[in-house]
Amino acid sequence: MNDTRLELTRVTREYISGPNTIAALRDVSLTIEPGEMVAIVGASGSGKSTLLNILGCLDRPTAGSYRVAGQETGVLSSDDLARLRRERVGFVFQHYNLLSSLTAVDNVSMPAIYDGLPRRDRIRRAETLLGRLGLKDRADHRPHQLSGGQQQRVSIARALMNGGPVILADEPTGALDQNTGEQVLQALKELHAKGHTVIIVTHDMTVAQHADRIIEIRDGSIIADSGLRAIQDEGRQDSFRPRSSGWIGLWRHLEAARMAMASLNAHRLRTLLTMLGIIIGTAAVVTVAALGEGARLRVIANISTLGTNTLDIYPGAGWGDMRAGAVATLKASDVAALGRHDYIDSVTPMVTGKVTLRFGNLAANASISGVGSQYFRVHGVRLSSGTVFDDDAVSQLAPVIVIDSKVRDKFFGPGMDPLGQVILVGMVPCRIIGVADEDNLGAIRRGDLNVWAPYTVVSGRLTGSARLEGITVRPKAGYTTEVAEQAVTKLLALLHGRKDFYTYNVDLIRKSIEGANYTMTLLTSMIAVISLIVGGIGVMNITLVSVTERTQEIGVRLAVGARQSDILSQFLLEAVFVCLIGGVLGVLCAIGIGEVLAKVAPATAMVISPVTILIAFASSTSIGLIFGFVPARNAARLNPVDALGKS
Ligand code: ADP
Ligand code: MG
């Protein structure tokens, strides 16, 4: 049942062009009853199209009131107007305005996308409508494969898609020959017979004669109106208005995604070139992150070869303290005190020196370390044979010694067992009780031959100096070096009455290496980000081009009832897809680069973590959103009449 009465009251429409104001419509009052067939006639430029656009809610009056089915349109938002167009109005244009990339059936079904009709239902209805207009076997043709008359009938089918009671036709026969023009008019008359309101704009009186009512317009004013004839309507309207599903939002956005993909697919080369920026940007981001991660892991691995996380305590105020050599602030009692504490796993004092080792007729210089019984435990080193000296040996100045494998090889030959042999260390004969494998020494290896003796022996019998060069502490598992450092500092400061020592830990090395690494990563990341932004600008540019090229399409979509948000999401998704696909390809590129690098330069390991990939996608998608937004919003904000006018 057609209940759509159209009422114009004193409507004026002015265009501002330069300094002048052109009144395309002046003070027009007009009521069109549901089910009428009206022809609007007048010379070119008299304001017919302006009137029709206002009737179709494509344009708004400058002044006056326009009511559709009793609803004042002046107060409606653009989305409300879109809904009116979608539900009540169907447009038929002089030049058909079919979308050239879509088939007839897709063109016809398009208005229902914005009504949220599922695709299957849409296609079925579009096919039915095409069948009714005698185009059953042309459903899969594209516009350029159809004659003018056929295209115009496709566009009539499109106007009927949402079951709109009002059909507005602007010079529908203007581009057709006499014969096909007649056919199109017949089709419109049939719609009228079914109860639709049909309004035809024409400058051709013979066309106008088909209408029941003829309104003549000149210079924006109605100069003649043949008036209302009896309407033969009542209940005969094709009132089939397909019900949209409850999933309107989802369907619409799925559709928007499909359209975006279709458009990218239609311009594959252009899409690929645009994508290139994003591909390079993403590949750069991932590569940089992966190289950074690889370097970090390598540094950690290197540091872990330094041995356990230890904390060194030295006498003096800090590195290079001149008095440190002279003062003996660290004492054996400090070692004992530290050893009693919970957070300490093991602790050892340290004195060092150079000695000459002699065995038989062989002699060699070596570095000697005077240490406590827990020394090897502090550094996490296991002896390859023999044992370490115990606390008794330390307190009793037992002349025992642990040698490294180089010393063994030098004096006894590789593979020989030196345990129990007595070797002359300086002037002191020492029994060898353990051998440490040179390869396992990590941080405690020094370039020289190495031997270890109780520190009491070294300071008491070899160097003659009673002071400790340092104390090394290994915090218990579960205590960080920082915590241990604070506790040690507090304890020793308390024992000494002042802070006459300083601490140093391997973590510092790790931190400084990581710090340098971080700076590098930051630098290269910036380059990566810049390339992503450049890529984004490319995307923005191409989206702008896409919007400009398809202004007419946007106009058509708006005319059939697309909301601004529909247009926005269509173009925004286009930008996002470019970036997303670019992101995928970029990540693949980065993986490829990683493979190549692993072959060419195995030392530079790339570690691509899931987090990196996630970040890459997140950044490429947001680039799409950010750079696609302005062009897409421009598209969405286009005025439908202007967009159509540019066709
Ligand atoms: P018709 O369809 O009868 O040929 P129109 O309604 O298109 O006439 O135009 C009526 C008048 O308004 C004309 O003088 C035209 O130049 C003017 N006009 C139409 N559209 C615009 C516009 N967008 N900007 C400025 N003037 C316009
Ligand atoms: Mg016109």
pLDDT tens digits along 504-528: 876 666 677 667 777 877 887 788 7
- pLDDT for the residue numbered 466: 73
User: Measured in angstroms, how far is the CA atom of residue 635 from the centroid of ligand 2?
Assistant: 24
Q: Which of 308, 373, 314 is nearest to 347 (CA)?
A: 373
Residue 180 lies in a domain: yes
Query: How buried is 67 (Cβ within 10 angstroms: 0-12 exposed, 13-18 middle, 19+ buried)?
Result: middle
Say whether pLDDT at 386 is over 50.
Answer: yes
Angle (CA) 413-417-419 rounded to 5° is 125
* CA-proximal residue: ligand 1, atom 7 (nearest): 49
* Least distant ligand from the CA of 40: 1
Residues 421 and 465 reside in one and the same domain: yes
Q: In which element (H, E) is residue 403 found? A: strand 400-404
CA distance 115 to 105: 16
Say whether pLDDT at 321 is over 70.
Answer: no
Residues 475 and 354 reside in one and the same domain: yes
Q: Which residue has the higher pLDDT, 440 or 162?
A: 162
Residue ending a domain, among 455, 484, 505, is 505
Rounded (10°) CA dihedral 82, 83, 85, 89: 180
Three-state secondary structure of 265-312: HHCHHHHHHHHHHHHHHHHHHHHHHHHHHHHHHHHHHHHHCCCCCCEE
Residue ending a domain, among 470, 505, 540, is 505
Q: What mean pLDDT do residues 293-321 have?
A: 73
- Which pTM value belongs to this model? 0.70
User: What is the percent of the chain where pLDDT is above 90?
Assistant: 41
Residues 234 and 141 reside in one and the same domain: yes
Task: Identify whether the C-beta of residue 35 lies closer than 8 Å to the C-beta of residue 43.
Answer: no
User: Measured in angstroms, how far is the CA atom of residue 141 from the centroid of ligand 2?
Assistant: 29
Query: How buried is 158 (Cβ within 10 angstroms: 0-12 exposed, 13-18 middle, 19+ buried)?
Result: buried
Q: What mean pLDDT do residues 24-41 have?
A: 94
Query: How buried is 70 (Cβ within 10 angstroms: 0-12 exposed, 13-18 middle, 19+ buried)?
Result: exposed
Residue 342 lies in a domain: yes
Identify which of 14, 20, 50, 54 to mutate to test ligand 1's pocket (most ligand atoms within 8 A of the CB). Answer: 50
Q: Per mean pLDDT, which range of 248-257, 314-323, 540-549, 624-633 is the poorest? A: 314-323
User: Measured in angstroms, how far is the CA atom of residue 383 from the centroid of ligand 2?
Assistant: 100
- 23 close to ligand 1 (CB < 6 Angstrom): no
Say whether pLDDT at 588 is over 90.
Answer: yes
- 646 close to ligand 1 (CB < 6 Angstrom): no
Q: Where are the beta strands (DSSP E) in 418-500?
A: 422-425, 428-436, 450-454, 470-475
Residue 62 lies in a domain: yes
* CA-proximal residue: ligand 1, atom 11 (nearest): 24
* CA-proximal residue: ligand 1, atom 5 (nearest): 47
Range of the domain at 195: 6-245
Residues 629 and 592 reside in one and the same domain: yes
Question: Coil, helix or strand for 646?
Answer: coil
Q: In which element (H, E) is residue 65 found? A: strand 63-68
Atom of ligand 1 nearest to the CA of 50: 6
Question: Coil, helix or strand for 142?
Answer: coil
Q: What's the CATH number where 169 sits?
A: 3.40.50.300
User: Measured in angstroms, how far is the CA atom of residue 51 from the centroid of ligand 2?
Assistant: 9
Residues 483 and 363 reside in one and the same domain: yes
Q: What mean pLDDT do residues 311-322 have?
A: 75
CA distance 243 to 115: 8
Give the largest Cα separation in the chain, rounded.
136
- 192 close to ligand 1 (CB < 6 Angstrom): no
Query: 117: which 2 tokens?
Result: 């009709």
- 42 close to ligand 1 (CB < 6 Angstrom): yes
- pLDDT for the residue numbered 115: 86
Residue 252 lies in a domain: no
Atom of ligand 1 nearest to the CA of 47: 6
Say whether pLDDT at 575 is over 80.
Answer: yes
Query: 54: which 2 tokens?
Result: 């206002």
Atom of ligand 1 nearest to the CA of 43: 3
Residues 64 and 14 reside in one and the same domain: yes
Q: What mean pLDDT do residues 353-357 have?
A: 90
- 640 close to ligand 1 (CB < 6 Angstrom): no
CA 352 to chain centre: 58
CA distance 608 to 290: 5
- pLDDT for the residue numbered 119: 86
CA distance 638 to 547: 10
Q: What pLDDT, in 10s, does the model give residues 176-194?
A: 888 889 989 999 999 999 8
- 20 close to ligand 1 (CB < 6 Angstrom): no
Residues 440 and 421 reside in one and the same domain: yes
Q: How confident is the model at residue 557 (pLDDT cuts 50, 70, 90)?
A: very high
* CA-proximal residue: ligand 1, atom 10 (nearest): 47
Domain total for the chain? Answer: 3
**348 backbone dihedrals φ, ψ, rounded to 5°:** -145, 140
Q: What pLDDT, in 10s, does the model give residues 126-185?
A: 999 999 889 999 999 999 999 999 999 999 999 999 988 999 999 999 888 888 899 899
Say whether pLDDT at 232 is over 70.
Answer: no
- 24 close to ligand 1 (CB < 6 Angstrom): yes
- pLDDT for the residue numbered 532: 83
Query: 38: which 2 tokens?
Result: 């009206």
Residues, beta carbon < 5 Å, ion ligand 2: 49
Identify which of 49, 223, 644 to mutate to test ligand 1's pocket (most ligand atoms within 8 A of the CB). Answer: 49
Residues 375 and 395 reside in one and the same domain: yes
CA distance 234 to 254: 39
393-429 CB burial, b ≥16 within 10 A, e <16: bbeebbbbbbbbbbbbbbbbeeeeebeebebebbebe
Q: Where are the beta strands (DSSP E) in 148-242?
A: 166-170, 197-202, 213-218, 221-225
* CA-proximal residue: ligand 1, atom 2 (nearest): 49
User: Measured in angstroms, how far is the CA atom of residue 96 from the centroid of ligand 1?
Assistant: 19
Atom of ligand 1 nearest to the CA of 217: 3
Residues 428 and 463 reside in one and the same domain: yes
The residues with which 627 forms a beta bridge, in sequence order, are none
Residues 234 and 135 reside in one and the same domain: yes
- pLDDT for the residue numbered 424: 92
* Least distant ligand from the CA of 14: 1
CA distance 303 to 509: 8
Say whether pLDDT at 246 is over 60.
Answer: no
* CA-proximal residue: ligand 1, atom 12 (nearest): 24
Residues 229 and 104 reside in one and the same domain: yes
Which of 286-300, 326-340, 348-362, 467-481 ranks highest by mean pLDDT?
348-362
Q: Which of 143, 463, 499, 38 is nearest to 313 (CA)?
A: 499
Compute CA distances 154 → 252, 558, 646, whole Å. Answer: 23, 18, 21
Residue 119 lies in a domain: yes
Q: What mean pLDDT do residues 380-386 have?
A: 85
Identify which of 11, 16, 46 to mutate to test ligand 1's pocket (most ligand atoms within 8 A of the CB). Answer: 46
Q: How confident is the model at residue 647 (pLDDT cuts 50, 70, 90)?
A: very low
The residues with which 475 forms a beta bridge, in sequence order, are 344
Residue 584 lies in a domain: yes
Residues 346 and 379 reside in one and the same domain: yes
- pLDDT for the residue numbered 342: 84
In the predicted model, what is the mean pLDDT of the chain? 86
User: Measured in angstroms, how far is the CA atom of residue 201 from the centroid of ligand 2?
Assistant: 8
Q: What pLDDT, in 10s, does the model give residues 61-81?
A: 999 999 999 999 999 999 999
- pLDDT for the residue numbered 334: 86
562-589 CB burial, b ≥16 within 10 A, e <16: bbbbbbbbbbbbbbbbbbbbbbbbbbeb
User: Measured in angstroms, how far is the CA atom of residue 311 from the centroid of ligand 2?
Assistant: 89
Q: In which element (H, E) is residue 16 found? A: strand 6-17
Question: Coil, helix or strand for 609?
Answer: coil
Residue 282 lies in a domain: yes
Residue ending a domain, among 475, 505, 535, is 505
The residues with which 37 forms a beta bridge, in sequence order, are 198
Say whether pLDDT at 220 is over 90.
Answer: yes
Residue 255 lies in a domain: no
